[in-house]
Amino acid sequence: MSSRVFITADTHFGHVDALERFDRPFSDVEAMDLALVEGINRVVGGDDLLYHLGDFVGPTPKGVSRTRHAVSIRERIDCRRIILVRGNHDPRGKPAFDALFESVDDLLSFRGWEDAGRQGEHRVVMAHYGMRIWQGRRDGSLHVHGHTHGTLPEVGRSTDVGVDCWGLRPRPLGDVLSMLANREIDMDEGNGRVQPVRGD
């Protein structure tokens, strides 16, 4: 069986405040972590590829290392190949954290994609943060992001792929990109100046 490709973001493993802040339906952070791991394992196989667009972990309680918590979570995820686009809560400068992933980037941009027998020629821009303007936007490129937990209005061919927007589990990348590719290209980039010119 050929591998499949999935996408997700904003799991915030270990983040106690995520329960109330993102209105997650769990009694405690341990139940949240368990449900999110099970959600990944239910849809993403061991040989599949998962793009995670940041905030794999969230702020952990005092005395609990984010890296150690990430290691304990990663050991329970069946998927062997995870590419991380680093979020604002993911540790920097921690080799043990980065080693949990096939690669760790701040942004990914590539042309063409293939998943589950479908192919697309569009440019795909993956970032943790939602952008109003992204590479190739006026040429029909597709932008997927996290960070906003569904609070940022979608613009053109852009969408939040975080777990809070997609039933607390990853989605097939081809489904998300096909959805975006079927949207009209948003040509409105605000061509008139709206930011004032500032002097000294």
- Per the domain annotation, does 41 fall within a domain? yes
Mean pLDDT value across residues 156-175: 96
Residue 92: predicted pLDDT: 95
More confidently predicted of 112 and 66: 66
Give first-to-last CA distance, the chain, whole Å: 63
- Enter the tokens of residue 69: 């918590």
> What pLDDT band is residue 195 in, cutting at 50, 70 and 90?
low
Cα separation of 172 and 43, whole Å?
9
- Is position 195 within any domain? no
Distance CA 197, CA 195 (A): 7
Name the DSSP letter for residue 13: B
Q: Is the pLDDT of residue 13 over 70?
A: yes
Q: 40: helix, coil or strand?
A: helix
pLDDT at 67: 96
Domain residues for the domain of 174 are: 5-181
* Residue 100 pLDDT greater than 70, yes or no: yes
User: Is 114 a domain residue?
Assistant: yes
pLDDT at 169 (0 to 100): 96
pLDDT at 2: 64
Q: Say how far residue 149 (Cα) sits from the centre of its chain.
A: 10
pLDDT band at residue 170 under the 50/70/90 scheme:
very high
Decide if 188 is inside a domain. no
**Does the predicted model carry a pTM greater than 0.85?**
yes
Band (115; pLDDT cuts 50, 70, 90): low
pLDDT of residue 190: 58
- Whether residue 18 lies inside any domain: the answer is yes
Distance CA 153, CA 196 (A): 25
Token pair recorded at residue 17:
């405040």
Is 199 contained in some domain?
Answer: no
Q: For residues 81 and 50, is the Cβ–Cβ distance under 8 A?
A: yes
Cα separation, 86 vs 105, in Å, equals 6
14 belongs to a structural domain? yes
With 90 as the cut, is the pLDDT of residue 122 above it? no
Specify which residues 171 forms β-bridges with.
7
Is 197 inside any structural domain? Answer: no
Q: What is the CATH number of the domain that holds 31?
A: 3.60.21.10
Closest CA to 51 of 90, 88, 122, 102: 102
Q: Which helix (H) or strand (E) holds 32?
A: helix 29-43
Number of compact structural domains in the chain: 1
